[in-house]
Structure 1
């Protein structure tokens, strides 16, 4: 039996309580005893003689960080390197399957499956074929080496694509039954929640009643619905109202993903109106929370900038039309319209704040790192819209973007909510210029929000990255330094924990994690991966 005793550290329990000096005793995977200096020390002398001593002199000892919003669904199937980026930040548990995207279910029709893979690639990365159902996905994850703990949701967008492709027609009774069965199957097999991406195709065609029917199995499992709302710009307040209503109809908790207000005209105003809606729902007994990432830019697929009216239920056909003169003209005209039920960032944000961050073809690498408006001008396109149409057509939709859409005041407002969780929202498009949040979101909270701007106390920041997200996703016995909990533990000097990733140079590992334990095993030490098989594939029912 492996025995470890972490000594001389300043312990943050993860619950937001004041830190204390003490020792943490670990046997195999589990924290067996927490000793406070000067208090009960029964058995400590024997433990000290038997256990390997880990000296955390002067350093913080915290639970491992938990990132409940990452699009790394496919990454474990391509090896364990994906874990380095997270372990360097102290992330010991992650949750995949966000924003309505999940690796499964896969459409039975091969052509529709390929269409889905192409659509999802700018968010989750290149497809891994051969796994079709949630049960198969979980069984496959069980057999892989995992560098950190891995939990998964089922995406209702992927479910809809599996049932009816990108069609904008209403669900038939049979289609709705099939969609609901997919949700039920995933929850039964341990999904920690269901995610929705109402902004994305084809979910943007769903009504509140559609969600109430599709997600009906959620009520008995009491798992959260994690939602990328319909609009984060002009329609943000109405979109928050919509998801609160969905949660009420389904009878499930609601987590508003990457809660923010986009578009300069909305800054410092609309976020407060939306929070009032959340607070009112909470007063009435509804379980509504949110999460955020600490950056002013967001990251997604360029296809999200295509008006659903132009897509008209067929993304492949829309991309083909963008290769014709008539289609480009129609697309450009569609970008000039303010829609009641869809945020047109071409108007509310502008192409001069949309950065191309990832493409599929080598010939288009020259556009990466440029704003859309700059690329259009530099390469002689007659308009920004014409360039976007050409690029989407040429890339078959596989273009990732970063949109500089938020202001720091609004981010701080969300950050200070007692029920907001810290996330990264990392996407996995193949690119040399990912969003810096992939490499630095969690250390940035410690460096900037705690050490530099004093927005949080250290214990508040730790709570938002440990026990709070663990409770939100029902991740059992993680997120706290407490007896009986799994030994996911970080040791670091808060003054030394740094993020280095920037929008200009994003591919830079964080530094400062002296030691990171996952399930009682040393996974990361002083900038190096020690063991790439410490993690577990988690299910909602895990104890």
Structure 2
């Protein structure tokens, strides 16, 4: 049987390590660089050093942007553009994707703190908290967005809504309700299911309950980031628990903002070994990290979870019990010792004083002072806990499956954690340029390609033709964070230009009024997956498409698609023909080919027959779509409103 016959019968042929593939390709791709259509660009970045998000070596090239997508990479000296930017000596990278953010709602329309770090997309609702209900994100977009946002399903909202704040087991009806909550959020476009098992009342859920609830997301082939159940003396067990949750529920487990606290310095060797063992078993798992030795959360973080059970009224009642109070104070001080060593390493953000200072002024122990502060405050008491050891931070950062994430997000707050203002430039300045902990290509990959594939994005995370034009341009010699714990509101330096959806949001270090961000929503066939490496890979789809979902353009269509990739270079062809509408779309340039088991996606550029204008496209081939009875399903989206989703 010939390859063509095989593809025609099966619809899809994928391989992660195909050998013996030649470099010969159809002449339709990689041609006509000097055509009139190719020359009409919105933005041209000239002479920059491209670090494309894959981790492969940098190279010098021009990058052209048209209609919100990357249209050309190469020599654009011939091209005309509305805006030309000299990027000589600057790095041209994909826009940074921040997997873990808690932004200030009032700052989302501007997002200056994030843009000055090069962040173009931020993920909301981490730690399991529903800070931004997914169903209400359209109103956030209507108010204007300085950068793109996506959101996770929040496990806290599911558990709190079904079970409440008391420590008890969930009933079968409650489990079903929580499964429904998860599926509803995924249908609305969530990028995964976020947990925060260290926080009440999520902490009350046991491992088996979490697995049962998250198993509802199995067909979605998504991910589950978690603020794990314990980050201090039981951190190894807590990492193992979440890896087991993801493995058994059928999701990619992500240990978010992975850290090793005071009494466990050095335990990152064990936690990273667990990560490696999980991947060796065949379950893809990863972590993310912020590059600081201090956390920020509520003051109740150092109160035993058993004391917090039942919510604020319940724990205030326990505080008021004269027999329990001294015991609780001792328990708080033991947690202080375990997490940060001593009270001077706990800073009350709004008061800009340490817990040790406050306790001394009150003339009481740190445990007693903690309860008095909590009793006085009616809401969240932002607190910074200095816990870390530089050796653990660097060891975690060097692992190839650890992404960069801020646990911050855009804000204008002057009393906060410096990660809100400095995370990405701190990695690129301190850990790449100054300390050489990781190289530049690796750092950019940890901010772009790795997070994009972890959550399932197919058109962001890489510099490649057809990708959405989210681009960050920075000076590798000057980029650095300026925010400190004493003065956190200091914007990073070195990010020169930020392009979001094809519009300049920051140029020459100055903000524009573009408000170019969008709410990004995930589709069911945008799967969490490993990055496509440098091995030879190929993907094909040939035959007749029977529409499953009609957006616009075609009813029935014929597709002929074949692509091969190696070391980031993609060759092949794409022809999509609609006899009903006498429309033929042919690919002219292929961008990023990505493959997983029984799945592939590709971006690129092409033309509708009879039209001179090139359009970007994204194609996904899903060999056994679980939502379509295991059929081979092809989704094609072409700029200008043409789209078809059909069974092959």
Q: 2:272 aligns with which of 266, 270, 275?
A: 275
Larger radius of gyration: 2
Contact 1:357 1:433 in 2 (8 A): no
Alignment partners' CA distance in 2, 1:527 and 1:54: 13
SS of equivalent to 1:475: coil
Matches within 5 A, 1:400-479: 400-426=382-408, 432-479=414-461
Structure 1 match to 2:51: 12
Matches within 5 A, 1:28-43: 28-35=67-74
Q: CA deviation at 1:456?
A: 1.6
Alignment partners' CA distance in 2, 1:51 and 1:376: 61
2:506 is the alignment partner of 1:511? no
Alignment partners' CA distance in 2, 1:45 and 1:304: 57
Alignment partners' CA distance in 2, 1:395 and 1:422: 33
- RMSD value, Cα: 2.1
Q: CA deviation at 1:461?
A: 1.0
SS of equivalent to 2:111: helix
Q: Is the deviation greater in 459-468 or in 526-535?
A: 526-535
Q: Decide whether aligned partners of structure 1 residues 347 and 468 sit closer, same or farther in structure 2, where only a CA change above 3 A counts.
A: closer
Contact 1:189 1:539 in 2 (8 A): yes
Contact 1:7 1:56 in 2 (8 A): yes
SS of equivalent to 2:372: helix
Q: CA deviation at 1:491?
A: 1.8
Alignment partners' CA distance in 1, 2:322 and 2:437: 52
Contact 1:335 1:347 in 2 (8 A): no
SS of equivalent to 1:281: helix
Structure 2 match to 1:63: 94
Q: Decide whether aligned partners of structure 1 residues 49 and 245 sit closer, same or farther in structure 2, where only a CA change above 3 A counts.
A: closer
Q: CA deviation at 1:418?
A: 0.7
Alignment partners' CA distance in 2, 1:408 and 1:13: 29
Q: Is the deviation greater in 250-259 or in 347-356?
A: 347-356
Contact 2:407 2:419 in 1 (8 A): yes
Structure 2 match to 1:91: 119
Alignment partners' CA distance in 2, 1:11 and 1:278: 31
Structure 1 match to 2:172: 173
Q: Is the deviation greater in 302-311 or in 249-258?
A: 302-311
Q: CA deviation at 1:330?
A: 4.0
2:203 is the alignment partner of 1:204? yes
Q: Return the structure number with greater relative CO, CA threshold 8 A, min gap 6.
A: 1
Q: 1:375 aligns with which of 341, 358, 372?
A: 358
Contact 2:92 2:471 in 1 (8 A): yes
SS of equivalent to 2:71: strand
Matches within 5 A, 1:386-405: 386-405=368-387
Q: CA deviation at 1:266?
A: 1.5
Higher strand proportion (structure 1 or 2): 2
Write the deviation string for residues 179-198 of structure 1: whole angstroms up to 9, x where unpaired: 11111100111000111011
Alignment partners' CA distance in 2, 1:306 and 1:430: 29
Q: CA deviation at 1:144?
A: 2.8
* TM-score for both structures, normalised by structure 1: 0.85
Structure 1 match to 2:349: 358
Q: CA deviation at 1:101?
A: 1.0
Structure 2 match to 1:134: 134
Q: 1:298 aligns with which of 286, 291, 295?
A: 295
Contact 1:240 1:274 in 2 (8 A): yes
Contact 2:295 2:386 in 1 (8 A): yes
Q: Decide whether aligned partners of structure 1 residues 306 and 50 sit closer, same or farther in structure 2, where only a CA change above 3 A counts.
A: closer
Q: Decide whether aligned partners of structure 1 residues 427 and 203 sit closer, same or farther in structure 2, where only a CA change above 3 A counts.
A: farther
Contact 1:298 1:402 in 2 (8 A): yes
Q: 1:334 aligns with which of 327, 331, 335?
A: 331
Could you list the runs of 4 or more consecutive aligned residues of structure 1 that deviate by over 6 angstroms after TM superposition?
Answer: 427-430
Alignment partners' CA distance in 2, 1:2 and 1:393: 60
Q: 2:476 aligns with which of 491, 494, 498?
A: 494
Q: CA deviation at 1:212?
A: 1.2
Structure 2 match to 1:194: 193
Q: CA deviation at 1:52?
A: 3.1
Structure 1 match to 2:545: none
Contact 2:109 2:143 in 1 (8 A): no
Aligned length: 486
Q: CA deviation at 1:225?
A: 0.4
Contact 1:310 1:334 in 2 (8 A): no
SS of equivalent to 2:275: helix
Contact 1:219 1:251 in 2 (8 A): yes
Q: CA deviation at 1:348?
A: 4.5
Q: Which blocks of at least 5 consecutive residues in structure 1 are unaligned? A: 36-40, 105-132, 338-343, 360-367
Contact 2:408 2:420 in 1 (8 A): yes
Alignment partners' CA distance in 2, 1:64 and 1:153: 20
Alignment partners' CA distance in 2, 1:402 and 1:536: 32
Alignment partners' CA distance in 2, 1:369 and 1:494: 33
Contact 2:339 2:387 in 1 (8 A): no
Q: CA deviation at 1:140?
A: 2.1
Contact 2:222 2:455 in 1 (8 A): yes
Q: Which blocks of at least 5 consecutive residues in structure 2 are unaligned? A: 1-39, 527-617, 619-648
Contact 1:80 1:532 in 2 (8 A): no
Alignment partners' CA distance in 2, 1:382 and 1:96: 39
Q: 2:366 aligns with which of 363, 379, 384?
A: 384
Contact 1:184 1:217 in 2 (8 A): yes
Q: CA deviation at 1:352?
A: 2.3
Q: CA deviation at 1:406?
A: 1.0
2:66 is the alignment partner of 1:27? yes
